A and B are shown apart, each in its own frame.
Chain A
Amino acid sequence: MLRIDQVSKAYMAEGTRASSALRDITLHAEPGEFICVVGMSGCGKTTLLRLVAGLEQPSSGRITLNSELIDRPHPERTLVFQEYALFPWRTVLHNVTFGLELQNVGKRAANRRGIHYLKLVGLDSFRHQRPHELSGGMRQRVALARALAVEPEVLLMDEPFGALDALTRGRLQQELAELQQREGRTVLFVTHSIIEAAFLADRIVVLHPEPGRIGATYEVDLPCPRNRKSPEFQGLCERIEANLSPGTEGASGSNPTDQGTARRNPCTI
């Protein structure tokens, strides 16, 4: 189980006062749970993901996975970035097997597992191409296969479809939802798209900006596959949107005593 307990993160920009990116975040993810973190840009959602990935350290608080403290990157928690994260000098297959090479999985076994995950994302026939020969959507599929191939416990996704056109984005959301039903990993998915969050998540966490803090949490128990056009879906999206930016109480959120209101109205459908 992934536990984020009272985590804060402050950045020391040169010559200025410390600005805090995240304040007092507490979030627990059950195994197999798909959590979407939604928020406007600058609310610290990417920072939260980087902390869980171990690429950065929290200023205070602790993050643990199965009671073990997270203090550095580890393939039990892989990260899918927004774009350009594939290695252009490697073929598609060898991008996917990169993490396996590092674990000294034999070449043949690694290739077999690589092909398995490429099949899952529907790209095994492209295994000998290089990333620059693929479209943006295909590249993100390869990045997903690469992150899955090391069979992580937690999959972190940082706006992975943010740079794609709407059509491709919708198709990849669909594929990811199906994939998650089969794979059942713990996923922490960061996005600024409410619709994307509502389509994918078991639970949606809204982050409010400056400093980044949890504004609201929504359990989503709409049946899968979800229909983006259904009234329940749209009602949920509207409710999230209304809470996306802090209200009058939330605006004074720099006051630490305000944390109670920041975590108000957990609303469930």
Chain B
Amino acid sequence: MPERFLARAILPCLLLALWQALALWIDSPTVLPGVESVAHVLAHPLQPILITGSLIDNLLVSLLRVICGFVLAAALAVPLGLLLGMSPRTERLFESLIELLRPVPPLAWVPLLLTWFGLAGPADYLPLLREWAVLDSLKFSMIAVIMIGAFFPILLNTIQGVRNQPRIWIESARTLGARRTTLLAKVILPGSLPFLMTGLRIGMGIGWMCLVAAEMLPGSSSGLGYLVWYAYELMHTEIILAGILIIGIVGLLMDQGFRFLEARLCPPTTRI
């Protein structure tokens, strides 16, 4: 284990060293700030940065948005995926629509979403939420972008999971007395769980990427993406780099979290 950890740490450490050497050689903090100034930003996550709030504030906004969008996407895509996986006839009905919408980059929806929702968010309907800045920054358009990004991987993997199930599981269950709902709850759902978990993991990753990118677009006023973009406008390269690092680390942690769940929930042979 320590040896593997060491192997994984070698390249990032080399990169840090190279970065520091380059920064000293270039000697221009706007082009490439030193490691220590980025570390300084990361070491004070609660300190207000520029006028956008602290690093933690922006991280929380982004996280909350991604969780909301992701949960909505999963709530729609999993049942739909189960339905389409179980009934080829229904799938034919939806197929062309899915194939048409799937290749559209989620960010292409942003102008339309901004046209529809503007800067409205749940706080416009629940004034109570205004008490907390983080909740106030939940915007419908951002949540919708994540939903669109996460929706298709979850949907397609759920369909695959149902399809890939050996027919023999379903037939055994039926001869043992399983009917529609019990079949769904006790066989189809647990049987497609490995695929479903993969779909959720990929969906979460894509949702995260979409969010950060969406926050960089006009109309955004908070979140990690916005922080990075705003730092660029003010030429604070060390904040840009700190933001990118945080975005990467959070993405990594979410991915690892799902892998951990996957390993816990799915016994080896049912994993893909």
The chain A residues found within 8 Å of chain B, CB to CB, are 53-55, 73-75, 77-79, 81, 84-85, 87-89, 98-99, 101-103, 130-132, 146-147, 150, 156
Please give the distance in Å from B192's CB to the nearest CB on chain A: 11
Asked if B176 CB lies within 8 Å of chain A CBs, one says: yes
Interface residues of B in 137-196 (CB under 8 A from A): 166, 168-169, 171-178, 182, 186-187, 190-191, 193
Q: A98-B186, A102-B182 are in contact. Are A88 and B270 (CB under 8 A)?
A: yes
Given contacts A101-B186, A102-B182, whether A85 and B168 have CB atoms under 8 Å apart is: yes
In the bound complex, residues from chain A placing their C-beta under 8 Å from that of B187 are 87
The residues of A that contact B166 with a CB separation of less than 8 Å are 84-85
Contact B267 A79 (CB under 8 A): no
Among B174, B190, B270, the residue within 8 A (CB) of A55 is: B174
Residue of B nearest to A146 (CB): B176
- Contact between A55 and B171, CB atoms less than 8 A apart: yes
B80 at the interface (CB under 8 A from A): no
CA distance in complex: A156, B174 (Å): 14
Q: Give the secondary structure class of B's interface.
A: helix
Bound Cα distance from A81 to B268, whole angstroms: 22
Task: Output the nearest chain A residue to B174 by Cβ-Cβ distance.
Answer: A73
Q: Judging by beta carbons under 8 Å apart, are A84 and B191 in contact?
A: no
Are A102 and B177 in contact, with the CB atoms below 8 A? Answer: yes
CB of B28 within 8 A of chain A?
A: no
Q: How far is the CA of A146 from the CA of B175 in the complex (A)?
A: 11
List B residues at the A interface (Cβ < 8 Å): 166, 168-169, 171-178, 182, 186-187, 190-191, 193, 266-270
- Contact pick for A102, options B171, B178, B267, CB 8 Å: B178
Instruction: Provide a sorted-by-A list of 24 A–B residue pairs whose CB atoms are within 8 angstroms.
Output: A55-B175, A73-B171, A73-B174, A74-B177, A75-B176, A81-B172, A84-B166, A85-B166, A87-B173, A87-B187, A87-B191, A88-B269, A88-B270, A89-B190, A98-B173, A98-B176, A98-B186, A99-B177, A102-B176, A102-B178, A130-B269, A131-B269, A132-B269, A146-B172
Query: Considering the chains assembled together, what is the distance between the CA atoms of A77 and B182 in angstroms?
Result: 18
Q: In the complex, what distance in Å separates the CA atom of A74 from the CA atom of B176?
A: 7
What's the least CB distance linking A242 to chain B, in Å? Answer: 34
With A85-B169, A87-B190 known as contacts, the answer to whether A99 contacts B176 (CB < 8 A) is: yes
Chain B residues lying within 8 Å of A102, measured Cβ to Cβ, are 176-178, 182, 186
- Please report the C-alpha to C-alpha distance between residue A77 and residue B270 in the assembled complex, in whole angstroms: 27
Which A-B residue pairs are the 6 nearest by beta carbons? A99-B176, A132-B269, A75-B177, A73-B174, A102-B177, A88-B269
Residues of A within 8 A of B171 (CB): 53, 55, 73, 79, 81, 85
If A75-B177, A132-B267 are given as contacts, then 6 extra A-B residue pairs at C-beta distance below 8 Å, sorted by A number, are: A55-B171, A74-B177, A78-B175, A88-B270, A99-B177, A102-B186
Contact of A79 among B172, B186, B266 (CB under 8 A): B172
- What's the minimum C-beta distance from B207 to chain A, rounded to whole angstroms? 27
Cβ-closest chain B residue relative to A131: B269
B268 touches A53 (CB 8 A): no
Out of B172, B193, B266, name the residue touching A85 (CB < 8 Å): B172
The residue of chain B having its C-beta at the shortest distance from the C-beta of A54 within the complex is B175
Chain B nearest CB, measured from A224 CB (Å)? 28
Report the bound CA distance from A55 to B172 in whole Å: 10
Q: Are A88 and B168 in contact (CB under 8 A)?
A: no
CB distance from A157 to the nearest CB of B (A): 12
B92 to chain A, nearest CB (A): 16
Closest partner residue, chain B, to A149 (CB atom): B176
A185: min CB distance to chain B, Å: 14
Q: How far is the CA of A87 from the CA of B188 in the complex (A)?
A: 11
Q: Known interface pairs A79-B172, A81-B172, A98-B186. Does A150 touch B177 (Cβ–Cβ under 8 Å)? A: yes
Q: Hey, which chain B residues are within 8 Å of A84, CB to CB?
A: 166, 168
Instruction: Please state if B176 and A89 are interface contacts (CB–CB under 8 Å).
Output: no
**Is the beta-carbon distance between A103 and B177 smaller than 8 angstroms?**
yes
A147 CA / B171 CA spacing, docked (Å) = 12
Instruction: Tell me the nearest residue of chain B to A82, going by C-beta.
Output: B168
- Looking across the interface, which residue of chain B has its beta carbon closest to that of A156? B175
